[in-house]
Amino acid sequence: MDEIMNSRSQSQEVFERVWARVMGSAAPQTAAQPQPEPVSQPAPEAQPVMAPQTMVAPPQRPHPAPPRPQPQPKTCCLRQQVLDSLEQWQLARLLSRRAGKQSRQMSNVAAQLHQQAKQLSAAYFLQSGVRYWPVAQLTAPRMTTYVGGLRQLYQRNQALTQEFQTCRAKAGSPDLMQLYGQLAQEGVKRAALLRQLLEQTGM
């Protein structure tokens, strides 16, 4: 019985030495105690990210707009119209010397054209402040016959009358509009007279 106990004791010692080599110094009967799991710490709350502040410039007061220049009355080629009227006046004077029985009527036409040139010159001075009366610039009109001169005067009168009607619609002042309206009406009457004189010549 003692031998059996000794044999078991030796076997137990051998087993313990082998186990100790394999598992370290811990005895086989001593089971490894489970390590307590570390207590997880709560994750820190994320702080809200502040958006970068943008500097807002204070609203600038708009600068007052410069006053708009007031439209000036349109002269509508007043300067050229003065010269055209004087040239027609000079042609009518030349025709009156060759008109014979129609001399008095042609003299009246010349007087009308001279007055027309004076009115346009005065209007030009009021608009520009410059006096314009280009009598010295006039040249002798080219005319072969009396009938040809009448035709030339009629055509030039018609063209200038049409220009007066156009300028009346574009005039920038009531006075200039009234003047152009008056000159246009007189031009229409003068055209009718020149046509009548031309018919009387028998061509």
Is 78-200 a CATH 3.20.20.70 domain? no
Q: 167 near 120, Cβ under 8 Å?
A: no
In tens, the pLDDT along 46-97 reads 565 555 565 656 566 666 666 554 444 456 599 999 999 999 999 999 999 9
In tens, the pLDDT along 136-156 reads 999 989 888 999 999 999 999
Domain ranges of the chain: 78-200
Whether the CA torsion 172, 174, 178, 181 is positive or negative: it is positive
